[in-house]
Amino acid sequence: MKKILLFSVLCSTLLAFRFFGTEDKPVPIPPSKQRTGDARKGFDYLVNGDYVRSGLPLNVFRMGYLNYDSSLLTRTGLNANMPYDFTALTASNGEVIVAPNCLQCHAMPFDGKLVMGLGNAGIDFTNARGMTPQRIAMLENWIKKTSPKQYEASATFLTVTKAISPQLIADVRGVNLADHLAALLVAHRDPVTFKWNDSAQLEKNHAVVPTDTPPWWLLKKKNAMFYNGFGRGDFGRFLMASNLLTTGDTAESRQVDTHMPDLLAYIYSLQAPKYPKAIDKPLAAKGKAIFQQNCSGCHGTYDGKGSYPNLLIPGSIIGTDSLLYASNYSTPQFVGWFNQSWFTQGDHPARLEPFAGYIAPPLDGIWVTAPYLHNASVPTLEGVLNSKARPRYWSRNFKRPQYNYESPGWVYKIEEKGGKPEIYNTDLPGYGNGGHTFGDHLTDAQRRAVLEYLKTL
């Protein structure tokens, strides 16, 4: 096994060099065949399914999780009175446990309604989500003493969380660490069997890089997943990655995998929310012409069926913070693990192909997806078009979020310095707000017109 892993790491390293040596020009991504399924079944599995099969005992969860609005997502049975981003399940031994679900990252309340597929811009990883090893150990001991059966149902979740929580910490609130979480999980799992090892089997060689969770409704247009397009092949294999949190082995993962075509069908059914305010149509028409001349070559067109080119843009061209593609998305240990793992086996395999740059994404519903750039470093859409308008340090109100509909983005405050979790600090590694300067040459009037057009997408 060690020889196989070493060979795989070597091959992945050579593959990375191949892609990192690509000439400085956009690279088209070819499509991959995807499985088809039932969107209705996919929604049910998303909100009620058992892809994460261990969690906290229901009574313990109720003691710690008191303030939430269960009406945001209407469910029945065990989940009739549950937060939308958790799922109650009956474990194999009959105990009811509560596990996190995909909506932790892939849904967000917006103006009183839950927007399915919208990246959670309020997520907080600055304190390990409250799950410190010390707290988990105390909880573990208490459950063992009071209810051995409950502990049996919760043991996997507690063991894994205790191992990874000390390293799953962000510098600021509002950024996602899903990529870092994946790297931590695979370090403890055998690539062929998915068996858990309490000690990390892979040397840590990646950074804690923040990301902004992209909206799910864009996936139907994409030929590859993740910001640098290195997720190739069957998308279902990537969608089921959350199963690595608690899976016992690949036999369980195969069961979860059977639901992935339905989940993908549901994701493909999602549509971007329509801009709810009045739009200046003459101004938007001017913006459309400017957009088509300056932006559509990378981001696509939106007339009728429209078109999307699926282009990878080298880092030398895009100029945005490079740490994500240069560290997490190109680490030989991680890429090697995946490319010789169970995920690459069977009739619908997946694989990772590193690239030194990022995908130019589709822009459907871009008005509602602030903050912007892959690391959530720009609070407003205006800042995407004008690099001089990007604040170096900025904060927003997470308790009572305010959104600027007129000039789309979060209402924010410019700060004098960083250092607090509530303040985005673009000086931190991976948090830089440079690059994507393609709108800087436009006049203020032209940018206003483009912004008005973007509200229509």
Report if residue 64 sits inside a domain: no
Dmax over Cα atoms in the chain, in whole Å?
69
Are 392 and 362 spatial neighbours (Cβ–Cβ below 8 Å)?
no
Report if residue 260 sits inside a domain: yes
Does the pLDDT of residue 3 top 90, yes or no?
no
Report if residue 14 sits inside a domain: yes
The span from the CA of 375 to the CA of 366, in Å, is: 15
Q: What is the mean pLDDT of residues 154-166?
A: 93
For residues 371-382, b (16+ Cβ closer than 10 Å) or e, as one string? bbbbbbbbbbbb
Q: What is the pLDDT of residues 47-78, one digit of tens each?
A: 999 999 999 999 999 988 878 888 999 999 99
Q: Is the pTM of this model over 0.95?
A: no
Report if residue 142 sits inside a domain: no
The span from the CA of 6 to the CA of 336, in Å, is: 8
DSSP string of 312-360, one letter each residue: EEEHHHH-S--HIIIIITT-HHHHHHHHTSGGG-SSS-EEE---SEEE-
Question: Which range marks the domain in which residue 323 is found?
Answer: 2-52+101-126+170-454
Confidence grade of residue 405 (pLDDT, cut at 50, 70, 90): very high
Question: Which residue in 389, 401, 386 sits closest to 443, CA to CA?
Answer: 386
pLDDT of 21: 41
Q: Which residue has the tokens 């149509």?
A: 281
Question: Which residue in 186, 226, 225 sits closest to 205, CA to CA?
Answer: 186
Does the pLDDT of residue 16 top 70, yes or no?
no
Does the pLDDT of residue 416 top 60, yes or no?
yes
pLDDT of 1: 41
Query: What total of structural domains would you count in the chain?
Result: 1
Q: How far is CA 141 from CA 98, 128, 144, 227, in A?
A: 18, 20, 5, 41
Confidence grade of residue 305 (pLDDT, cut at 50, 70, 90): confident
368 forms bridges with which residues in the sheet? none
Proportion of the chain above pLDDT 70, given as a percent: 94
Report if residue 67 sits inside a domain: no
Proportion of the chain above pLDDT 90, given as a percent: 86
Q: Which residue has the tokens 């469910």?
A: 75
Q: How far is CA 350 from CA 61, 355, 360, in A?
A: 35, 16, 22
Q: How far is CA 375 from CA 81, 104, 437, in A?
A: 34, 18, 16
pLDDT of 128: 62
Q: What is the pLDDT of residues 18-34, one digit of tens each?
A: 333 445 899 999 999 99
Q: Which residue has the tokens 């061209």?
A: 317
Q: pLDDT averaged over the chain?
A: 92
pLDDT of 8: 39
Of 40-44, 137-141, 388-392, 408-412, the poorest mean pLDDT is in 137-141
Peptide bond into 371 cis (omega under 30): yes
Q: What is the mean pLDDT of residues 110-139?
A: 87
Q: What is the mean pLDDT of residues 330-354?
A: 95
Q: What is the pLDDT of residues 231-254, one digit of tens each?
A: 999 999 999 999 999 999 999 999
Q: What is the mean pLDDT of residues 317-334?
A: 93
Between 15 and 184, name the one with better pLDDT. Answer: 184
Q: How far is CA 451 from CA 119, 273, 303, 408, in A?
A: 21, 16, 17, 8
Report if residue 437 sits inside a domain: yes
Report if residue 210 sits inside a domain: yes
Report if residue 446 sits inside a domain: yes
Q: Which residue has the tokens 């003691």?
A: 63
Q: What is the mean pLDDT of residues 379-390?
A: 98
pLDDT of 137: 87
